[in-house]
Amino acid sequence: MKLLRIGFGNAVIASRVKQIVKLKSAEGKRWKQEADQLCRLIDATAGRHTRSMLITDSGHIILSSMSPQQLEGKLKSLRLGG
């Protein structure tokens, strides 16, 4: 089981992450609102500015203060065995 570090001591199981989305997109804002209403929103920003959202296979949305590019790079290296 490989863990994707998403900042401030938080980690997610890499295989459960299905998509990484920029929060500022209209789609991202809508997903965040829906997840909050369904109690499926997890804030892992430690009070910092939210820059990205991780969509999991369980339908949970995890907020991160790391940029989508940083997270995608980390996820890619984990999936390639790095």
**What is the average pLDDT across 21-38?**
90
The per-residue b/e assignment along 7-18, b for 16 or more CB within 10 angstroms, e otherwise, is: beebebebeebe
- Of 1-5, 24-28, 48-52, 67-71, minimum mean pLDDT range: 24-28
| pLDDT per residue as tens digits for the range 37-75 | 999 999 999 999 999 999 999 999 999 999 999 999 999
All structural domains of the chain with their residue ranges: 3-79
Here the tokens at position 71 are: 């997270």
Listing from the earlier edge strand, what are the strands of the sheet with 61-64? 17-22, 52-56, 61-64, 41-43
